[in-house]
A and B are shown apart, each in its own frame.
Chain A
């Protein structure tokens, strides 16, 4: 009986890991992306291209001089990104799931390991946006996008 249990557990685990996507960190290369607002993006969040996970966020730090959030992205070695790609912090739903979505550019050369994505768009504060519509006080610096914006994660908690 114990063998059955072990087999079931092992089976499910293998299935999950194969479905779960990129988990072999070995061989991944790292690139940087600097954002004006990291929002609720956290290390371990997914990095995807066209909705397919290609890597993870390995670290988020603050650059002292420019006060930009520097995200280190660990990318699958088989995925090469054109040097003019755009990185955007977006989310699955209103309640979080912040991750980095990369829209590939059209350049001939690719971003090298250790390189940087130049074009970035930070997290969007939806409640700030709503607030600025209700009480207009000058433009906010976050651009509205057609994707679901990443809200400030503490706001939902306050409403209940």
Chain B
């Protein structure tokens, strides 16, 4: 990641001294965590305090929320359908095929809906944000904005963070619905389930915490996706190549953080319920 940049200067020497290289990489990583932390605090402060740039906020709602619907919908329906087939097969090993609707619904609302929607957003939204802000950085537009008495954190970062946190749960709710619909399609058309039984089993089984915990995860993931896009774009260095690097870093770091936080949140939520 960016740690590689910090060590680039000393590469020849570091080959001879791996301990020093390890130390430098660790320090660079720690520095990055700190840097991201500071950036996040500034971004959140900009997002939560007035003045707000409502026009920009709306644009981001549409860009992050509405335009991500097709990708999320496609992901959800295929995942739901495939999951239904697999759970059916698994359930068949205990003569418990009829429990498939419940397991599919649980898997989608608690885990697959939020995580897969977030991963698709990491690829789509995080990359786009990093590219846009990175390009602005490379062409001095961010400096220009500051000289025009406008705080780039308020104009660029805040709206994107807010849009990430607010739109991702909505997208996940759509993903949950369409995922269950995918399972329902497979169940009713291929596996000979009765439509009413499938739906009734799903609804009776699901508890509100299943859905809500998934939406909380989605909000966290949405924040991560927007933050990584903004951070790497804002700190892009070195022209077009720097923008490309920023985009890659944004997607990769978003994905890693999504998986990590998913595990932590799942553990937390399992103990809570």
Residue positions of A touching B, CB distance < 8 A: 1-2, 4-6, 8-9, 12-13, 15-17, 19-21, 23, 44-46, 53, 92-97, 156, 160
Q: A46 contacts which chain B residues (CB < 8 A)?
A: 204
Report the interface size for chain B: residues with CB under 8 A from the other chain: 26
Q: B94 contacts which chain A residues (CB < 8 A)?
A: 95, 156, 160
Contact A12 B178 (CB under 8 A): yes
Chain B interface secondary structure, helix, strand, loop or mixed?
helix
Contact of A20 (CB < 8 Å), options: B68, B96, B177, B199: B199
CA distance A156 to B174 in the complex (A): 35
Residue positions of B touching A, CB distance < 8 A: 66-70, 72-73, 94, 96, 98-99, 174, 177-178, 180-181, 184, 195-196, 199-204, 207
Q: A20 contacts which chain B residues (CB < 8 A)?
A: 199-200, 202-204
Contact A95 B99 (CB under 8 A): yes
Q: B200 contacts which chain A residues (CB < 8 A)?
A: 19-21, 53
Contact A8 B202 (CB under 8 A): no
**In the complex, what's the smallest C-beta–C-beta distance from B88 to chain A, in angstroms?**
14
Contact B98 A93 (CB under 8 A): yes
Contact A2 B70 (CB under 8 A): yes
Contact of A19 (CB < 8 Å), options: B69, B73, B196: B196
Contact B174 A9 (CB under 8 A): yes
CA distance A20 to B67 in the complex (A): 31
A2-B68, A93-B98 given; name 9 further pairs at CB < 8 Å.
Answer: A2-B70, A5-B69, A5-B174, A8-B181, A9-B177, A17-B203, A19-B199, A19-B200, A95-B96
* Nearest B residue to A45, CB-CB: B204
Contact A16-B178, Cβ < 8 Å, known A2-B67, A9-B73: no
* Nearest B residue to A10, CB-CB: B177
Contact B207 A44 (CB under 8 A): yes
Contact A5 B73 (CB under 8 A): yes
Q: A6 contacts which chain B residues (CB < 8 A)?
A: 69, 174
Contact A2-B66, Cβ < 8 Å, known A9-B178, A95-B96: yes
Contact A44 B69 (CB under 8 A): no
A2, A20, A46 — which one has the most chain B CB atoms within 10 A of its CB? Answer: A2
CA distance A97 to B180 in the complex (A): 19
Q: A95 contacts which chain B residues (CB < 8 A)?
A: 94, 96, 99
Contact of A12 (CB < 8 Å), options: B67, B177, B204: B177
Contact B70 A1 (CB under 8 A): yes
* Nearest B residue to A159, CB-CB: B94
A5, A8, A44, A97 — which one has the most chain B CB atoms within 10 A of its CB? Answer: A5
Contact A5 B99 (CB under 8 A): no
Q: A5 contacts which chain B residues (CB < 8 A)?
A: 69-70, 72-73, 174, 178
Contact of A16 (CB < 8 Å), options: B66, B98, B174, B203: B203
The 7 closest A-B pairs by CB, nearest first: A2-B69, A5-B73, A20-B203, A5-B69, A1-B70, A12-B181, A9-B177
Contact A1 B69 (CB under 8 A): yes
Contact of B195 (CB < 8 Å), options: A8, A19, A96, A156: A19
**In the complex, what's the smallest C-beta–C-beta distance from A100 to chain B, in angstroms?**
12
Q: B181 contacts which chain A residues (CB < 8 A)?
A: 8-9, 12
**In the complex, what's the smallest C-beta–C-beta distance from B112 to chain A, in angstroms?**
16
* Nearest B residue to A16, CB-CB: B199
Contact B202 A16 (CB under 8 A): yes
Contact of B204 (CB < 8 Å), options: A2, A44, A160: A44
**In the complex, what's the smallest C-beta–C-beta distance from A60 to chain B, in angstroms?**
14
**In the complex, what's the smallest C-beta–C-beta distance from B208 to chain A, in angstroms?**
9
Q: A160 contacts which chain B residues (CB < 8 A)?
A: 94
CA distance A6 to B65 in the complex (A): 11
**In the complex, what's the smallest C-beta–C-beta distance from A106 to chain B, in angstroms?**
29
Q: B66 contacts which chain A residues (CB < 8 A)?
A: 2
* Nearest B residue to A93, CB-CB: B98
CA distance A46 to B201 in the complex (A): 10
Q: A16 contacts which chain B residues (CB < 8 A)?
A: 180, 199, 202-203
